[in-house]
Amino acid sequence: MTRQIVLDTETTGLSAEQGDRIIELGCVELVQRRFTGNDLHLYLNPERASHEDAIRIHGITNEFLRDKPRFAERADEILRYLQGAELIIHNASFDMGFLEMEFSRLGLPALSGQVVGVVDTLTMARELFPGKRNSLDALCDRLGVDNSGRTLHGALLDAQLLADVYIQMTRGQESLLVAEDKQAAVGVVGLSVDADLSSFELLVLGANAHELAAHEATIAEIDQSSGGRAVWRLAPEAPKAVP
């Protein structure tokens, strides 16, 4: 059973090649498209100042990050968490580029070789909604995902929103998972849904005298309150079947 990790980062700027660094990592774990609660959220000291434009986007100041751990201090934890998972990322080349650069600086193996794959939800959205805006906010609006709490970019919040967006975009997979669950349940208990019920007779219980009297009293009360206009009193008696 493949774990899926919905991942987002915030950074000091736009270019990992020119020395920009990760300052926030947010990860949300899904197993069989269900939230497990086993999430990972880290703020990281980038050892450099963030660009003013970046701060306007995510609101994370240089002062706030000064006492946070460096990526090197949490790299093993991050790698263990992501190892063997399928990553789901919006505009994956951006976040993967930063992560690969961080691991490369430490002489660690490439992340792409430690995970089973990477799903780019931006590419997926462009295929599903060609010619439309496919930012995270636009997808939330289109797919009915509540993003009212998103005033600034934040890695964990964005990962949580993206997880909901991904589930909505791939909702056709739910039927497959339900079918698999049913098959698994039958295998566990050893039951078959096929059964011959032709030999069984259904027991029909008629109303007793007390119940019939109570029913008749209720009908009479309704008839009286309606001024004698109850349709079941006015309807002609149905013809009896001829044997």
Q: List pLDDT tens digits, range 119-160.
A: 999 999 999 999 999 999 999 999 999 999 887 889 999 999
What value does the mean pLDDT of the chain take?
A: 87
Paired sense of beta strands 86-89 and 117-120, if any: parallel
Q: What pTM value is reported for the model?
A: 0.71
The confidence band for 192, taking pLDDT boundaries of 50, 70 and 90, is very low
> What DSSP designation does 37 have?
S
Catalytic residues: 153
**pLDDT reported for residue 200:** 64
Whether the pLDDT of residue 198 is over 70: the answer is no
**pLDDT tens figures, 39-94:** 999 999 999 999 999 999 999 999 999 999 999 999 999 999 999 999 999 999 99
**pLDDT reported for residue 98:** 98
Q: Which CATH class is domain 3-171?
A: alpha beta
So where are the chain's domains?
Answer: 3-171
Residues 240, 221: Cα–Cα separation, whole Å: 27
DSSP E strands: which ranges in 36-190? 40-43, 86-89, 117-120
Question: Residue 176, Cβ neighbours under 10 Å: how many?
Answer: 9
